[in-house]
Chains A and B, each alone.
Chain A
Amino acid sequence: MKARFGLRAIAGVYLALVLVGPLVIVFWSAFRHGVGPVWDAISSPDAVAALKLTLLTAAIAVPANTIFGILAALVLARRRFPGRRAVSALIDLPLALSPVVVGLALVLVWGRAGWFGPWAINHGVSVIFSTPGIVLATMVVSLPFVTRELVPVLRELGIEQQEAAATLGANPLQIVWRITLPAVRYGLIYGVVLTTARVIGEFGAVAVVSGNIAGQSQTMTLYVEDRFQEFDLVGAYSASVLLACISIATVVVLRLLNRRGVQ
């Protein structure tokens, strides 16, 4: 019994020092002088612009990766084709990549001296130091989540119902939309929530490809760093509190989905 309490105490102290303590301090530092300064900080023009850019990025990257994730998961779960394992490994690859490496790779393709960069600039689109680059960077880092959640649930689901629908004359799109997706909806939502959290929270890859200009190409995470470097701690903590609240909501939603029998 003594050993049990000892272990519990060690685990508790470790979690308090590494996880809980720092979070509590940020909330405490932000709200030390009441809600007013926090509200002023996150309703400043630069903060609002950063929030808008983050939401715009999520509005593009999340649907794009969701559609890709569904297609890829259907193919990976249902088909055997040459190169199947390579495709699967490539989808997982961003999990093992440093965000900075992702950003650099995108600069080397879409930058002024990159492979496709000059072509894009000639067509009036600048990718790097601008919104398309930010969206692209978040798409890369959040690529695996929907597929990874869907493949196992699709395998478990099998194909009987879809075949029944096919024999009754449903076309492939109808089958996916009306049979497959409703059946795997919790796994799909789980993947989409993970994707969204990653897109909103991405820092390294975005830091490389964005020009980090306040009010223009600054996402929420870049804004946090910028405020910190400018010694505006209230601004940095306020934006951090907002992001932390989104993260806490994410974690709670994922747990509720888990109860529904995902994974």
Chain B
Amino acid sequence: MVTRAVDAPGPAMRRRRVRANGAGTSLSLGVAVVYLSLIVLIPLAALAWKAVGGGWSQFWTAVTSPEAVAALRLTFEVTGAAVAINAVMGTLIAWVLVRDAFPGRAVVDVLLDLPFALPTIVAGLTLLSLYGVNGPLGVNIAYTKAGIVLALMFVTLPFSVRAVQPVLAALDRDMEDAAATLGAGPFTIARRVVLPNLAPAILSGIGLAFSRAIGEFGAVVLIAGNLPFKTETASVYIFGQIENDNAQGAAAAALVLLVASLVLLVIFGFLESRVTRHEG
């Protein structure tokens, strides 16, 4: 709101500002666009060109090869499972962090940022050291789907918790109190009052987690190993195709992943705009 006010200065000020900043901003914009083109736009154009430049039939053949289909299907399966589990557990953890005063809450809160900052390869290694072949618990998740789901749960946990946490903290408790005075039990209140209010936040957390998990490589690669048709996710498949000098096959599968991510971003943006409108 404050921005709106200072954004609309009198005519004299406006002229002054153009003279002071006009050339500078055009230069900034130019530099930014060139940098962005070199870093993002041109590489992605090269990728798209490699994928479909040889014609759609070539692209189609590449993405419908049995190994590519198996990898893409597995990716959506494990991502869906991990994101669904974290949608529930992330909401639950957010609730405990916001509503439940327990000793050590601040430490847990800080700890939840760790999967953001921890290198993904280290995340994969830590999971293998506890749940791998010689792990102390006697379970072995190496080369299993469950292991991949676990890795994706690890990397997406902050997305699920942080999407819900601020909304829950800002939630007015009058509604819950009113429901309680009308005789609703805790589960009814959670189901009919709290969850509907959190739904947009939970959905946006799902979107973010999905678009992160779908392309995850570092956390998955050690656990997935290199077993085509079994534990090969799309990113591991793409990596393998690059190593085998099949750039076209890699690019085709990469384009599918990229488009899936973009669709998720659009859905997420749509949900976010709905949440914002709801609050405004």
Contacts and interface: CB of A to CB of B under 8 A. Distances in A.
Contacts of B234: 98
B193 interface: no
B261 A19 contact: no
A159 B131 CA distance: 54
A115 B42 contact: yes
B261 A97 contact: yes
Contact of B3 (A156, A167, A202): A156
B43 A172 contact: no
A19 B238 contact: no
Interface string A52-81: 000000000000000010011011001101
Interface residues of A, number: 91
Considering residues A19, A102, A163, which has the most beta carbons from chain B within 10 angstroms of its beta carbon?
A19
29 contacts: A7-B92, A7-B95, A11-B96, A14-B93, A18-B157, A25-B126, A25-B135, A68-B31, A71-B28, A71-B31, A75-B32, A93-B44, A95-B212, A97-B215, A97-B258, A98-B214, A104-B254, A105-B46, A108-B43, A108-B46, A140-B39, A143-B39, A166-B17, A201-B117, A203-B121, A204-B239, A225-B222, A247-B122, A254-B117
B78 interface: no
Considering residues B29, B136, B222, B251, which has the most beta carbons from chain A within 10 angstroms of its beta carbon?
B29
A62 B5 CA distance: 35
B59 interface: no
Interface stretch (B18-26, B61-69, B167-175, B176-184): B18-26
Interface string A1-33: 001100110110011001111110110010000
B44 A105 contact: yes
A170 to B, nearest CB: 8
A166 B12 CA distance: 13
Interface in A125-179: 136, 139-140, 143, 155-156, 158-160, 162-163, 166-167, 171-173, 175
B262 A96 contact: yes
B80 interface: no
A45 interface: no
Contact of B129 (A29, A74, A171, A175): A29
A200 B121 CA distance: 12
Given A20-B111, A101-B258, A163-B9, A114 B117 contact: no
A181 interface: no
Contacts of A186: none
Contacts of B238: 98, 100-101, 104
B130 interface: yes
Contacts of B96: 7-8, 11
B214 A228 contact: no
Contact of A175 (B20, B116, B131, B153): B20
> 8 tightest A-B contacts by CB?
A98-B215, A201-B119, A105-B43, A172-B24, A204-B217, A22-B126, A203-B218, A166-B20
Q: Give the secondary structure class of B's interface.
A: helix
Contact of A21 (B46, B49, B130, B242): B130
A54 to B, nearest CB: 10
A237 interface: yes
B103 to A, nearest CB: 11
Interface string A225-255: 1001000000011001001100110111011
B125 A240 contact: yes
Interface string A178-212: 00000000000000000001001111100110000
Interface in B206-259: 211-212, 214-218, 221-222, 234-235, 238-239, 242, 247, 250-251, 254, 257-258
Nearest to A200: B119
A238 to B, nearest CB: 11
Interface in B184-221: 186, 211-212, 214-218, 221
A243 B24 CA distance: 40
Contacts of B44: 93, 105
A15 B108 contact: yes
Contacts of B20: 163, 166, 171-172, 175
A243 B118 CA distance: 7
A23 B129 CA distance: 9
